[in-house]
């Protein structure tokens, strides 16, 4: 049995398949998932699992070069924004929500969490760990 933080086999497989510059979305329960994009739905009930719990688990295995968040998160979900900036510091790029939805079409997958707060979405761009 795997003993690292990330136990979900489907998410772990996607992370392992990520190459340099591949995109992976972690989304709240309301973000639309593009039709031709893989959906990994881990939502159980409102708030479970949370966006932040999921992000931390994914970051335990994924090397991130850049992270894209919507500027709307700053005003409408500032507490979450502050937590995300603690985790990703200078890797964050601010874009508008419509651009985030457009970029999600290019991602390897969208991980849909049970997060029930607005604009709790991020696109992680895979980096190189050497």
- Residues carrying an active site annotation: 20
Beta strand 64-70 with 122-126 is: antiparallel
- Please tell me whether 120 is known to bind a ligand: yes
Q: Which two tokens mark 1?
A: 């049995």
Rounded Cα–Cα distance for residues 82 and 103 (Å): 23
- Please tell me whether 109 is known to bind a ligand: no
- Please tell me whether 90 is known to bind a ligand: no
- Please tell me whether 97 is known to bind a ligand: yes
- Asked if residues 120 and 77 have their Cβ atoms less than 8 Å apart, the reply is yes
- Please tell me whether 78 is known to bind a ligand: no
Following DSSP, what letter does each residue of 56-108 receive, concatenated?
Answer: HHHHTT--EEEEEEETHHHHHSHHHHHHHHHHHGGGEEEE-HHHHHHHGGGSS
Q: Please enumerate, by residue number, every residue annotated as part of a binding site for substrate.
A: 28, 97, 119-121
Specify binding-site residues. 28, 97, 119-121
């Amino acid at each position: 049995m795997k003993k690292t933080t990330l136990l979900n086999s489907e998410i772990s497989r996607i992370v392992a398949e990520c190459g340099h510059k591949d995109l992976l979305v972690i989304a709240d329960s309301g973000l639309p998932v593009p039709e031709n994009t893989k959906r990994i739905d881990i939502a159980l009930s409102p708030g479970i699992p949370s966006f932040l719990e999921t992000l931390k688990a994914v970051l335990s295995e994924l090397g991130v070069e850049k992270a894209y968040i919507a500027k709307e998160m700053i005003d409408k979900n500032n507490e979450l924004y502050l937590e995300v900036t603690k985790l990703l510091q200078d890797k964050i790029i601010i874009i508008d929500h419509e651009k985030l939805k457009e970029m999600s079409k290019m991602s390897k997958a969208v991980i849909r969490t049970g997060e029930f707060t607005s604009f709790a979405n991020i696109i992680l761009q895979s980096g190189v760990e050497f």
